Structure 1
């Protein structure tokens, strides 16, 4: 059985754009400021595990959540596309999206380095509404088109990269300038905007078949 590499790439690119490990490295460093390398590694591992669980729940329980509220996948695809587009536009403007939880408040004098791995690092910084909406849509697409292996490969590849990025945050932090981070955020915003538009157009075509003509 051949693997649909385009779907794998689409999943990987969408998750990379939304959770953007490179742009979030400075955030990780600020949240763990003053912590030892060992503590930072512990936070990174815990955040990676939490993100993995959040992704799996979104994919596996996505349809059950929709059914509970009487929604179709196209309803959620449209809403999710609008959420993702909002995040993308915010990234293109060089600011952080409040919708996705990308603006953590000023760090207090003393922070529990262990707790920040879950909040705000995992939720809502990494696994925010945009991530959840995107994964539910991809999960439904994989189910309809029998593309579970491709979905698993795309998500697994990204989560591996995310884990490596978080574990390498102290090292990367010394080598990423503010300019490089800003450029990366805008580039990811463009990719994310394209993904969002595809979600919106697809949902509108399915909800209103007449638009296709």
Structure 2
């Protein structure tokens, strides 16, 4: 039983992480948060990771009933979500290069520092409210990862012991994915500094192109799942 539980956790975690690809999306995250400070980016990465945790839990536990309730097929989820991912990748791929911001010396930083009513440095402003859309959905936990989470629990048994083990595995998988997302996203700037300006630009363009390709692949997977039964019916017809 323990061996089966560990196997289910490792299988689900590796499958979701390979689809989410946090290292590649980290450059997309960095591009979308280029105007934020390191502390703001860290807080935003924490919000995205927590959001991703709850999105995956929702997909694990209520994904299949919700799709059935609204009459949405898995193919429709893949096509619609893949289109959203592809559009985001296309926009980022064709976005103009940002102008380099001039470095600020210590005097300039002192002149522009924000202070409270007692003269103490104020806390950094809160990051913009884009943690859920588009940073969590569809860029991090997109249709591919949601469909994978739904598929992992599509055949969940109603036997209490097996249901409890499956539920525990789903929670652990979601928590592990959350930790990885936060760790990678919060250190995206360090990775960019390691690569340098030109290296970061190249990495961002490659990540944008890969994001576009991922979206197209998700659409093709949905179309294949939709058209295959139709082709089978035509072939089976006398």
TM-score range, shorter chain: 0.5 to 0.7
Larger radius of gyration: 2
> Displacement of 1:86 after TM fit?
4.4
- TM-score normalised per structure 2: 0.58
Structure 2 CA distance for aligned equivalents of residues 126 and 169 of structure 1: 16
Aligned partner of residue 127 in structure 1, secondary structure: helix
The verdict on how the C-alpha distance between 1:82 and 1:115 changes in structure 2, with shifts beyond 3 A counting, is closer
Q: 2: distance between equivalents of 1:38 and 1:84?
A: 27
TM-score, normalized by length of structure 1? 0.64
After superposition, the Cα gap between the structure-2 partners of 1:142 and 1:160, relative to the gap in structure 1 and judged at 3 Å, is same
In structure 1, the partner of 2:149 is 139
Structure 1 residue aligned with 2:134, among 124, 128, 138?
Answer: 124
5 Å-filtered alignment, 1:35-54, equals 37-54=38-55
Give the equivalent residue in structure 2 for 1:12: 17
Go from structure 1 to structure 2 and tell me whether the alpha carbon gap of 1:64 and 1:8 turns closer, same or farther (over 3 Å shift).
same
Q: Distance in 2 between matches of 1:148 and 1:85?
A: 32
1:51-104 Cα shifts (integer Å, max 9, x gaps): 32233224433223223323333443443344445455x27x8137xxxxxxxx
Give the aligned partner of residue 175 of structure 1: 194
Q: Secondary structure at the match of 2:33?
A: helix
Match of 1:163 among 182, 193, 197: 182
Number of aligned residue pairs: give it: 191
User: Does the 8 Å CA contact 1:12/1:155 hold for their aligned counterparts?
Assistant: no
The SS at the match of 1:114 is coil
4+ residue segments displaced more than 6 Å: 4-7, 147-154
The residue matched to 1:202 in structure 2 has which SS?
helix
> Secondary structure at 2:21's aligned position in 1?
helix
CA deviation digits over 1:19-56, x for unaligned, max 9? 812222232242x24xxx54543333233212322332
Stretches of structure 1 lacking an aligned partner (at least 5 in a row): 97-109
Question: Does 1:201 find its partner at 2:201?
Answer: no
- 1:186 Cα shift? 1.8
CA contact (8 A) 1:23 1:181 kept: yes
Cα separation, partners in 2 of 1:76 and 1:43, compared to 1, 3 Å: closer
Aligned alpha-carbon RMSD (Å): 4.0
Greater mean deviation of Cα atoms: 127-136 or 176-185: 127-136
* Structure-2 change in CA distance of 1:14 and 1:154 (3 Å): farther
